[in-house]
Amino acid sequence: MTSITHHIPEELLIAYASGNLAPAFALAVATHVSMCDECRARLGAHEELGGALLEDQAAQAVSGDLKTRLFDALDAPVVSEKTYARSGIFPAPVMEALGGLPPKWTSLGLGVRQMILSHDRSGSARLLYIPGGMGVPDHGHNGLELTLVLQGAFRDETGRYGVGDLEVATGDLEHEPVAEEGPACICLAATDAALRFRSFLPRLLQPIFRI
Ligand code: ZN
Ligand code: ZN
């Protein structure tokens, strides 16, 4: 897909390559990488570099026997890893998070729907379904929010995001994303802290919908 204009920032890609991202963010990064040749190539370069560093360190600090066992362990096949294929608009990492099933949407009102894919103390990942022309209430962020478009497009104060584009919103951004007219905008959204809504009603609903 060559139409992607919003990619994974370098520091996020490095954190992902070194396994230091919370699962919700790792899902968003893995999904973008599966849709984007450019970021897949960048990730490959980071992984090669990381692997070389690991081998260097292992050669210096680890005895021969332990080194052999370490690399045997690295080469060992991962047990019972089920593989998922892309289905419709949902890339393989999202299908994995869905357990291979179509999403089960929960209505948030006004046609907006969500499905929570994962939720724990490190953050949450969800699918959002926003009808064309509809907006997500104006909100700020207590932490980091990654939004990856899977269908349709949305716009906010920072630009336009189409299929494959990843928006990175941090604590200093207040935004009001609006889905473009046309097919519903379906996004994968990952957050590590509750959103800060400016108006009363979403604040009221927040504990119920865990947004
Ligand atoms: Zn990219
Ligand atoms: Zn946001």
Check residue 150 and give its pLDDT: 98
Query: For residue 79, is it within any domain?
Result: no
Helix, coil or strand: residue 55: helix
Digit-coded pLDDT (tens) for 171-188: 788 888 999 999 999 999
Report the CATH number that the domain containing residue 173 is assigned in CATH. 2.60.120.10
Examine residue 76 and state whether it is found in any structural domain, yes or no. Answer: no
What total number of domains does the chain contain?
1
Q: Is 157 exposed, middle or buried (0-12, 13-18, 19+ CB in 10 A)?
A: exposed
Q: Is residue 73 one of the residues assigned to a domain?
A: no
Q: Which residues of the chain are modeled with pLDDT < 50?
A: 1
User: The whole model's pTM is what?
Assistant: 0.80
Q: Look at residue 68 and tell me if it is in a domain.
A: no
Q: In terms of residue numbers, what domain contains 29?
A: 1-60+85-211
Q: Which residues pair with 159 in a beta bridge?
A: 156
How many angstroms does the Cα of residue 139 sit away from the middle of ligand 2?
A: 6
With respect to residue 69, please indicate whether it lies within any of the assigned structural domains.
no
Ligand 1 mean position to 191 CA, how many Å? 19
Query: Does residue 72 lie in a domain region?
Result: no
Residue 41 near residue 104 (C-beta atoms within 8 A): no
> Is 14 within the bounds of a domain?
yes
pLDDT reported for residue 140? 80
Measured at the CA of 24, the angle between CA 29 and CA 208, to 5 degrees, comes to 140
CA separation for the pair 205, 209 (Å, rounded): 6
What is the 108 CA–ligand 1 centroid distance (Å)? Answer: 30
Q: What is the pLDDT of residue 141?
A: 81
